[in-house]
Amino acid sequence: MASEADTRANYIDPALRAAHWQPTNIIREHYFTDGRKMADDVRKVLSGLATVVEGIGALRTHGGDAHGRERGYTRLDTRIASLAIHSASTAALFLIETWQMRYPSTTLVRH
Protein backbone atom coordinates (compact mmCIF):
# COMPACT_ATOMS: atom_id res chain seq x y z
CA MET A 1 0.00 0.00 0.00
CA ALA A 2 1.39 3.40 -0.97
CA SER A 3 1.95 5.98 1.72
CA GLU A 4 0.57 9.49 1.56
CA ALA A 5 4.04 10.73 0.56
CA ASP A 6 4.22 8.13 -2.24
CA THR A 7 0.83 9.17 -3.56
CA ARG A 8 1.88 12.80 -3.53
CA ALA A 9 5.19 12.07 -5.25
CA ASN A 10 3.75 9.72 -7.88
CA TYR A 11 0.45 11.39 -8.73
CA ILE A 12 -0.16 14.81 -7.22
CA ASP A 13 3.22 16.47 -7.86
CA PRO A 14 3.35 15.45 -11.55
CA ALA A 15 -0.22 16.69 -12.04
CA LEU A 16 0.61 20.03 -10.45
CA ARG A 17 3.73 20.39 -12.63
CA ALA A 18 1.69 19.51 -15.72
CA ALA A 19 -0.78 22.24 -14.75
CA HIS A 20 2.19 24.68 -14.54
CA TRP A 21 1.88 25.30 -10.81
CA GLN A 22 4.88 27.01 -9.28
CA PRO A 23 6.53 25.57 -6.14
CA THR A 24 5.72 28.81 -4.31
CA ASN A 25 2.00 28.08 -4.80
CA ILE A 26 2.18 24.67 -3.14
CA ILE A 27 2.10 24.24 0.63
CA ARG A 28 3.16 20.73 1.68
CA GLU A 29 1.95 20.65 5.25
CA HIS A 30 0.22 23.27 7.30
CA TYR A 31 -0.69 22.81 10.95
CA PHE A 32 -3.77 24.73 11.95
CA THR A 33 -3.84 24.03 15.66
CA ASP A 34 -1.94 22.47 18.50
CA GLY A 35 -2.19 18.81 19.52
CA ARG A 36 -4.59 19.39 22.43
CA LYS A 37 -7.39 20.64 20.23
CA MET A 38 -6.76 17.83 17.78
CA ALA A 39 -6.94 15.28 20.62
CA ASP A 40 -10.44 16.55 21.44
CA ASP A 41 -11.38 16.21 17.77
CA VAL A 42 -10.07 12.63 17.71
CA ARG A 43 -12.15 11.82 20.81
CA LYS A 44 -15.24 13.13 19.02
CA VAL A 45 -14.51 11.00 15.96
CA LEU A 46 -13.99 7.89 18.11
CA SER A 47 -17.23 8.59 19.97
CA GLY A 48 -19.03 8.85 16.63
CA LEU A 49 -17.39 5.61 15.51
CA ALA A 50 -18.73 3.84 18.59
CA THR A 51 -22.22 5.11 17.72
CA VAL A 52 -21.79 3.87 14.14
CA VAL A 53 -20.82 0.40 15.39
CA GLU A 54 -23.93 0.31 17.61
CA GLY A 55 -26.05 1.34 14.64
CA ILE A 56 -24.56 -1.37 12.44
CA GLY A 57 -25.39 -3.97 15.08
CA ALA A 58 -28.95 -2.69 15.29
CA LEU A 59 -29.29 -2.77 11.49
CA ARG A 60 -28.08 -6.35 11.44
CA THR A 61 -30.61 -7.30 14.11
CA HIS A 62 -33.59 -5.47 12.62
CA GLY A 63 -32.75 -5.47 8.91
CA GLY A 64 -30.93 -8.76 8.51
CA ASP A 65 -32.47 -12.14 7.87
CA ALA A 66 -29.95 -14.38 9.64
CA HIS A 67 -32.60 -15.37 12.20
CA GLY A 68 -35.43 -15.63 9.70
CA ARG A 69 -37.73 -12.92 8.46
CA GLU A 70 -40.43 -11.44 10.59
CA ARG A 71 -43.89 -10.70 9.29
CA GLY A 72 -43.82 -7.40 7.43
CA TYR A 73 -40.08 -7.70 6.70
CA THR A 74 -38.81 -4.89 4.47
CA ARG A 75 -35.54 -5.24 2.61
CA LEU A 76 -32.84 -2.73 3.59
CA ASP A 77 -32.22 0.04 1.06
CA THR A 78 -29.07 -0.66 -1.00
CA ARG A 79 -27.38 2.64 -0.16
CA ILE A 80 -27.97 2.10 3.57
CA ALA A 81 -26.54 -1.41 3.27
CA SER A 82 -23.48 0.01 1.47
CA LEU A 83 -23.07 2.65 4.17
CA ALA A 84 -23.16 -0.05 6.85
CA ILE A 85 -20.67 -2.26 5.00
CA HIS A 86 -18.19 0.54 4.37
CA SER A 87 -18.56 1.87 7.92
CA ALA A 88 -17.91 -1.59 9.36
CA SER A 89 -14.87 -1.99 7.10
CA THR A 90 -13.48 1.38 8.22
CA ALA A 91 -14.00 0.53 11.90
CA ALA A 92 -12.38 -2.90 11.49
CA LEU A 93 -9.37 -1.45 9.66
CA PHE A 94 -8.93 1.20 12.36
CA LEU A 95 -8.99 -1.47 15.08
CA ILE A 96 -6.48 -3.67 13.22
CA GLU A 97 -4.11 -0.75 12.61
CA THR A 98 -4.40 0.32 16.25
CA TRP A 99 -3.57 -3.23 17.38
CA GLN A 100 -0.57 -3.37 15.05
CA MET A 101 0.68 0.00 16.30
CA ARG A 102 0.36 -0.96 19.97
CA TYR A 103 1.64 -4.51 19.62
CA PRO A 104 4.10 -4.44 16.69
CA SER A 105 5.80 -7.72 17.65
CA THR A 106 2.50 -9.64 17.83
CA THR A 107 1.13 -10.94 14.54
CA LEU A 108 -2.57 -11.21 14.01
CA VAL A 109 -3.70 -14.70 13.09
CA ARG A 110 -5.70 -14.82 9.88
CA HIS A 111 -8.84 -16.95 10.19
DSSP 8-state symbol, 64:
-
pTM of the model: 0.56
- Are residues 23 and 1 both part of a single domain? yes
- Are residues 26 and 69 both part of a single domain? no
Q: Is residue 111 a part of any domain in this protein? A: no
- Are residues 39 and 26 both part of a single domain? no
Distance CA 63, CA 47 (A): 24
Into how many domains does the chain fold? 2
Helix (H) or strand (E) holding 52: helix 35-63
- Are residues 18 and 54 both part of a single domain? no
- Are residues 26 and 38 both part of a single domain? no
Q: Which domain holds residue 19?
A: 1-30
pLDDT at position 67, please? 67
- Residue range 30-55: average pLDDT? 81
- Are residues 79 and 50 both part of a single domain? yes
**3-19 pLDDT tens trace:** 777 888 888 888 888 88
